[in-house]
A and B are shown apart, each in its own frame.
Chain A
Amino acid sequence: MRRMRRETLPDKEHQACGLFGVMNRKGERFGGRMAIDALMNMRVRGNGLGAGFAAYGIYPEHKDYYALHIMFQDWDLDAKREVDKFLGANFDVVCDEEMPTNPEASVINPPLVWRYFMAPDKKGDEKRLSDDDYVVKKVMHINTRIKNAYVFSSGKNMGVFKGVGFPEEIAEYFMLEKEYRGYIWVAHSRFPTNTPGWWGGAHPFCILDWTVVHNGEISSYGTNKRYLEMYGYYCTLLTDTEVMAYAVDLLMRRQRLPIEIVAKIFAPPMWDHVDIMDEKRKKLYMTLRMVYAPLLINGPWTIIVAHHGEMFGITDRIRLRPITAGEKGDLLFVSSEEAAIRAVCPNLDRVFTPMGGEPVVGRLKGVEKELRKKAEEGV
């Protein structure tokens, strides 16, 4: 009898990292300098094995098209041909080009990175899928089926830039300061502790326009991963941060829960607190906990999540990883360290340290208004 290859869980990475996010709540765009400087200020939180940035509002000229940043490991041109063919068959590609890079930047072994702007070209049964679900499905296909090809990002009017190196090196390689202007910048520098960093494994992780940066190690990884598999998410990037990204996608995009509720799922209050609440709140917290128990994210973690119009930071239920927030006018900052915020914006209006599980939420003014209207209508 032929013995099947044993199916085991993939190795995951353990890490402690530096996080930073900044948002202009009026939607005014600015360059990547603040994000780069903030991470340089937290140099000890990285070790040069990975850094990355996500920026929103960077492609206004193509804002209606999905922008895919795709990495080809070891400049594998066969993989690129396969991806080109696959995208050609499933999308209308309106523009594609090599990512502009600075060859003089001091990074080691950069892969080929290509960007595509395109619209879904759905056929047959797939016409029933929403555009977003269709794109998710195709991204999963590339990540799992095409060797040496990894999708860095797949949202509209945004992009992820990441790789192996210190943050300033990655920023220099992708020329973030000169080339792009966005209204949200989220950045991450990385201290992986077991596997060597690889370009695909750096943060942020992205699906559609949702990005996640993460500091910590998720002790509930196996539980979360196997629950998400039931909903068609397969973890391929060998790190527990991916679990966060997919959990956010499932709850916020597919199930349309607001972050204030998702926070209660990821980092629920202790039963001791729930037991003394009034009946209505108790019912809410108990129901959330009962239904979404497999998405409780356990262990030490802080994440910053962004998508168009919204950025938020949150830390685990017993606050085992740091998070600090600051405000200056329309700017909202979330970071692992207050020092990093002060390094790029010394005169803050307000600095605060949220409790475990309490999200710091930044929304575009327009989005805020829309949410309030919806709530008043009782949706």
Chain B
Amino acid sequence: MELVRGEEMFSHMLPEFIVERREDRCIRCRVCERQCAFEVHKYDKELDMVFSDEKKCVGCQRCAVLCPTDALVIRPHPGEYRRNANWTRERIQDLKKQAETGGVILTGSGNDKPYRIYWDHIVLNASQVTNPSIDPLREPMELRTFLGRKPDALELRFNGGDYEDVEVATELYPNVMIETPMVFSAMSYGAISYQAFKSLAMAASEYGTLFNTGEGGLPKELRKYGKNAIVQCASGRFGVDPEYLNCAAVVEIKIGQGAKPGIGGHLPGEKVTLPISVTRMIPEGTDALSPAPQHDIYSIEDLSMLIYALKEATNYETPVSVKIAAVHNVAAIASGMVRAGADIIAIDGLRGGTGAAPKIIRDNVGIPIELALAAVDRRLREEGIRNKCSILVAGGFRCSADVVKAIALGADAVYIGTPALVAMGCTLCQKCYTGKCNWGICTQDPYLSRRLNPEIASKRLVNLLRGWSLEIKEMLGGMGINAVESLRGNREHLRGVGLEDWELEVLGIKGAGE
């Protein structure tokens, strides 16, 4: 399969961005030239001028932000084809790319198409008169969350009349406590830089939540962050060893990813540097191919065997999560997963991000997480097994209100990926697959990745978690709720605006005013 890479030149292509340099401001410091891994800017010594090859520009804004005199403006290229609602510029450009290469068009980041974002059609409740709202600045407001399987009931043994001197006789399933209902999405070391990976680990550890290793293993020296790690066991089995499984808070079997349901992964050999090859346990410089399915899981019984194999390997002390992409039959699949022994089910929606995926898949396969979540939560309740698992959802969460709405629809916690990347510097230029991330996040080039300082980036991530948590507390307090569990599945606090009947039905919410 021939792949189309962004850095290649296409003779019939219009540039995507225009680079405007205000010559009166430019001091020829050449920062832009050094910062741009795509080699847009070039200084001509003889003319003492900086020239820009805007065909190469991806619009990441790194040069514009770092220019000391604000001399640069990068904006979408105004050149246009004849307006056509059907044949948009994007469609025409994609056709030309393929005509010149005969390959699959790659992209990064999440689905950018205007599918309905249900979060923007759901509004929240607040208390008035009959029920006091609670001020989170004055009263405790609790976000602590437990991920894992819960028993139906507890058996207690009492010692005399003291009801605090009680033994819990029921054997409990392992659960993981997090201080806020948000964890970092799966991003592997290899897909992202060591610095970015370490920043996520440090931030999760500092805030008391989790990060997810993706399928890239966990470098030995970072295993001290294991108790804040969800470690993945995916179709390539990269980096899986007993210590990897046993140092972790959660083990996750990755079946699918929202950005590319039904598709595997491919880390090109040039990104498999020595440390990555050691971590993934593959030879240096070889392609790391994750097959589309797990070849030992062709059915739900097979899944159950892997779940219990992992539970055996971790002495039944670690919850096992199973992550799938949100697809049409997600509710039935989720129910099967719980019955197969999954303690956590993770669902990744249509707008979930990726380091690299075929554009046609990213933009067309899967269903929105809002609908998938509502359907799964309802199905598990109808079957009386909702408390046998926790639901983690991923895919396009943009702000704390999205998180609150997801919890009210039934999620236990939310995976945040893109917001974490943006907090570290990402501007969603969607060129993750090129390995040339100017922000040092999605690259293995040491010249680029050392731009990201884990001390600083982890601080920004902690700030993100703190900011969102404070906002969640404000919203909870407004609803007269002081513990996040009282919002979980509480669709009474949601109302739809501008939704069709069938959509309200699937979401299980009333329309505003009803």
List the interface of chain A (C-beta within 8 A of B).
Answer: 3-4, 6-9, 12, 14-16, 193, 216-217, 219-223, 225-227, 229-231, 255, 257-258, 260-261, 268, 270-272, 280-281, 283-284, 287-294, 296-300, 317-318, 320, 371-372, 375-376, 378-379
| Cross-chain contact B493 with A222 (CB below 8 angstroms) | yes
With contact pairs A258-B163, A271-B142, A318-B134 given, residues A222 and B492 touching in the complex (Cβ less than 8 Å): yes
Q: Identify A15's interface contact among B130, B163, B486, CB under 8 A.
A: B130
| Cross-chain contact B501 with A6 (CB below 8 angstroms) | yes
Q: Identify B387's interface contact among A15, A193, A230, A318, CB under 8 A.
A: A230
Enumerate the 5 nearest inter-chain pairs by beta-carbon distance, A residue then B residue, closest first: A222-B492, A220-B486, A222-B490, A298-B486, A260-B163
With contact pairs A9-B492, A219-B127, A222-B493 given, residues A257 and B156 touching in the complex (Cβ less than 8 Å): yes
| Cross-chain contact B151 with A291 (CB below 8 angstroms) | yes
Q: Is B460 an interface residue (CB 8 A)?
A: no
| Cross-chain contact B387 with A220 (CB below 8 angstroms) | no
With contact pairs A229-B381, A298-B480, A300-B132 given, residues A378 and B158 touching in the complex (Cβ less than 8 Å): yes
With contact pairs A219-B480, A222-B492, A296-B483 given, residues A7 and B166 touching in the complex (Cβ less than 8 Å): no
Determine how close the nearest CB of chain B comes to the CB of A240; give it in whole angstroms: 9
Extra inter-chain contacts (16) besides given A14-B131, A300-B480, CB under 8 Å = A6-B504, A8-B504, A8-B509, A9-B492, A217-B480, A219-B480, A219-B481, A220-B487, A226-B381, A230-B384, A230-B387, A270-B142, A291-B172, A294-B489, A299-B131, A371-B161
With contact pairs A257-B156, A287-B168 given, residues A298 and B483 touching in the complex (Cβ less than 8 Å): yes
Q: Is B159 an interface residue (CB 8 A)?
A: yes
Determine how close the nearest CB of chain A comes to the CB of B389; give it in whole angstroms: 13
With contact pairs A219-B479, A261-B163 given, residues A290 and B505 touching in the complex (Cβ less than 8 Å): no
List the interface of chain B (C-beta within 8 A of A).
Answer: 127, 129-132, 134, 139-140, 142, 144, 146, 150-151, 153-154, 156-161, 163-166, 168, 172, 175, 381, 384, 386-387, 408, 479-483, 485-493, 501-502, 504-505, 508-510, 514
Q: When chains A and B are docked, how far (Å) is the Cα of A3 from the Cα of B503?
A: 12
Q: When chains A and B are docked, how far (Å) is the Cα of A253 from the Cα of B225?
A: 45
Q: When chains A and B are docked, how far (Å) is the Cα of A231 from the Cα of B382?
A: 10
Determine how close the nearest CB of chain B comes to the CB of A61; give it in whole angstroms: 36
Q: Which residues of B contact A271 (CB under 8 A)?
A: 140, 142, 144
Q: When chains A and B are docked, how far (Å) is the Cα of A221 from the Cα of B480?
A: 11
Determine how close the nearest CB of chain B comes to the CB of A225; give it in whole angstroms: 8
| Cross-chain contact B140 with A272 (CB below 8 angstroms) | yes
| Cross-chain contact A290 with B493 (CB below 8 angstroms) | no
**16 contacts across the A-B interface (CB closer than 8 A):** A217-B130, A217-B131, A219-B127, A223-B489, A226-B489, A231-B384, A268-B483, A290-B172, A291-B150, A296-B486, A299-B486, A300-B131, A318-B139, A371-B161, A378-B158, A379-B158
Determine how close the nearest CB of chain B comes to the CB of A369; give it in whole angstroms: 11
Q: When chains A and B are docked, how far (Å) is the Cα of A193 from the Cα of B130?
A: 8
| Cross-chain contact B146 with A293 (CB below 8 angstroms) | yes
Q: Which residues of A contact B159 (CB under 8 A)?
A: 375, 378
| Cross-chain contact B510 with A9 (CB below 8 angstroms) | yes
With contact pairs A8-B509, A261-B163 given, residues A222 and B144 touching in the complex (Cβ less than 8 Å): no
Q: Which residues of B contact A193 (CB under 8 A)?
A: 129-130
| Cross-chain contact A14 with B163 (CB below 8 angstroms) | no
Q: When chains A and B are docked, how far (Å) is the Cα of A193 from the Cα of B127?
A: 14
Determine how close the nearest CB of chain A comes to the CB of B124; give it in whole angstroms: 12
Q: Identify A283's interface contact among B127, B130, B168, CB under 8 A.
A: B168
Determine how close the nearest CB of chain A comes to the CB of B320; give it in whole angstroms: 18
| Cross-chain contact B146 with A290 (CB below 8 angstroms) | yes
Q: When chains A and B are docked, how far (Å) is the Cα of A272 from the Cα of B139?
A: 12
Q: Identify B154's interface contact among A222, A280, A291, CB under 8 A.
A: A291
Q: Which residues of A contact B386 (CB under 8 A)?
A: 227, 230
Q: Identify A320's interface contact among B132, B144, B158, B490, CB under 8 A.
A: B132
Q: When chains A and B are docked, how far (Å) is the Cα of A291 from the Cα of B150?
A: 6
Q: Identify A220's interface contact among B140, B166, B481, CB under 8 A.
A: B481
Q: Which residues of B contact A300 (CB under 8 A)?
A: 131-132, 480
Determine how close the nearest CB of chain A comes to the CB of B16; give it in whole angstroms: 43
| Cross-chain contact A270 with B485 (CB below 8 angstroms) | no
Determine how close the nearest CB of chain A comes to the CB of B310; give it in whole angstroms: 22
Number of A-B residue pairs having CB atoms within 8 Å of each other in the complex: 146
Q: When chains A and B are docked, how far (Å) is the Cα of A361 from the Cα of B113?
A: 60
Determine how close the nearest CB of chain B comes to the CB of A133; give it in whole angstroms: 15
| Cross-chain contact B168 with A284 (CB below 8 angstroms) | yes
With contact pairs A217-B131, A230-B387, A378-B159 given, residues A290 and B481 touching in the complex (Cβ less than 8 Å): no
Determine how close the nearest CB of chain B comes to the CB of A296; give it in whole angstroms: 6
Determine how close the nearest CB of chain A comes to the CB of B199; give it in whole angstroms: 27
Q: When chains A and B are docked, how far (Å) is the Cα of A231 from the Cα of B408?
A: 20
Q: Which residues of A contact B166 (CB under 8 A)?
A: 261, 284
Determine how close the nearest CB of chain B comes to the CB of A276; give it in whole angstroms: 13
| Cross-chain contact A3 with B501 (CB below 8 angstroms) | yes
| Cross-chain contact A376 with B492 (CB below 8 angstroms) | no
Q: Identify B161's interface contact among A281, A298, A318, A375, CB under 8 A.
A: A375
Determine how close the nearest CB of chain A comes to the CB of B488; give it in whole angstroms: 6
| Cross-chain contact B130 with A8 (CB below 8 angstroms) | no
Determine how close the nearest CB of chain B comes to the CB of A317; give it in whole angstroms: 7
Q: Which residues of A contact B488 (CB under 8 A)?
A: 223, 293-294
| Cross-chain contact A220 with B490 (CB below 8 angstroms) | yes
Determine how close the nearest CB of chain A comes to the CB of B514; give it in whole angstroms: 7
Q: Which residues of A contact B139 (CB under 8 A)?
A: 318
Q: Which residues of B contact A320 (CB under 8 A)?
A: 132
Q: Which residues of A contact B387 (CB under 8 A)?
A: 227, 230, 294
| Cross-chain contact B160 with A375 (CB below 8 angstroms) | yes
Q: Identify A299's interface contact among B160, B481, B505, CB under 8 A.
A: B481
| Cross-chain contact A298 with B514 (CB below 8 angstroms) | no
| Cross-chain contact B130 with A317 (CB below 8 angstroms) | no
| Cross-chain contact A317 with B482 (CB below 8 angstroms) | yes
CB-nearest residue of chain A to B179? A271
Determine how close the nearest CB of chain B comes to the CB of A5; give it in whole angstroms: 9
Q: Which residues of A contact B161 (CB under 8 A)?
A: 371-372, 375
Q: Identify A16's interface contact among B130, B151, B165, CB under 8 A.
A: B130
Q: When chains A and B are docked, how far (Å) is the Cα of A15 from the Cα of B130?
A: 7
| Cross-chain contact A222 with B489 (CB below 8 angstroms) | yes
CB-nearest residue of chain A to B157? A378
Max chain A Cβ within 10 angstroms of own Cβ: one of B144, B154, B491: B154
Q: When chains A and B are docked, how far (Å) is the Cα of A221 from the Cα of B159?
A: 34
Max chain B Cβ within 10 angstroms of own Cβ: one of A257, A261, A291: A291
Q: Which residues of B contact A261 (CB under 8 A)?
A: 156, 163, 166
Max chain B Cβ within 10 angstroms of own Cβ: one of A223, A229, A284, A320: A223
Q: When chains A and B are docked, how far (Å) is the Cα of A289 from the Cα of B146?
A: 9
CB-nearest residue of chain B to A376? B160
Q: When chains A and B are docked, how far (Å) is the Cα of A292 from the Cα of B486?
A: 11
Q: Which residues of A contact B160 (CB under 8 A)?
A: 375-376
Q: When chains A and B are docked, how far (Å) is the Cα of A298 from the Cα of B139?
A: 14
Determine how close the nearest CB of chain B comes to the CB of A196; give it in whole angstroms: 16
Q: When chains A and B are docked, how far (Å) is the Cα of A270 from the Cα of B483?
A: 9
Determine how close the nearest CB of chain B comes to the CB of A24; give it in whole angstroms: 22
CB-nearest residue of chain A to B505? A6
| Cross-chain contact B164 with A375 (CB below 8 angstroms) | no
Q: When chains A and B are docked, how far (Å) is the Cα of A298 from the Cα of B408?
A: 14
Determine how close the nearest CB of chain A comes to the CB of B26; give it in whole angstroms: 56
Q: Identify B486's interface contact among A223, A270, A375, A378, CB under 8 A.
A: A223
CB-nearest residue of chain A to B479? A219
Q: Which residues of B contact A298 (CB under 8 A)?
A: 480-483, 486
CB-nearest residue of chain A to B380? A230
Q: When chains A and B are docked, how far (Å) is the Cα of A219 from the Cα of B127?
A: 9
Q: When chains A and B are docked, how far (Å) is the Cα of A375 from the Cα of B493?
A: 42
| Cross-chain contact A318 with B482 (CB below 8 angstroms) | yes
Determine how close the nearest CB of chain B comes to the CB of A376; give it in whole angstroms: 7
Q: When chains A and B are docked, how far (Å) is the Cα of A324 from the Cα of B493?
A: 31
CB-nearest residue of chain A to B164? A281
Q: When chains A and B are docked, how far (Å) is the Cα of A71 from the Cα of B65?
A: 73
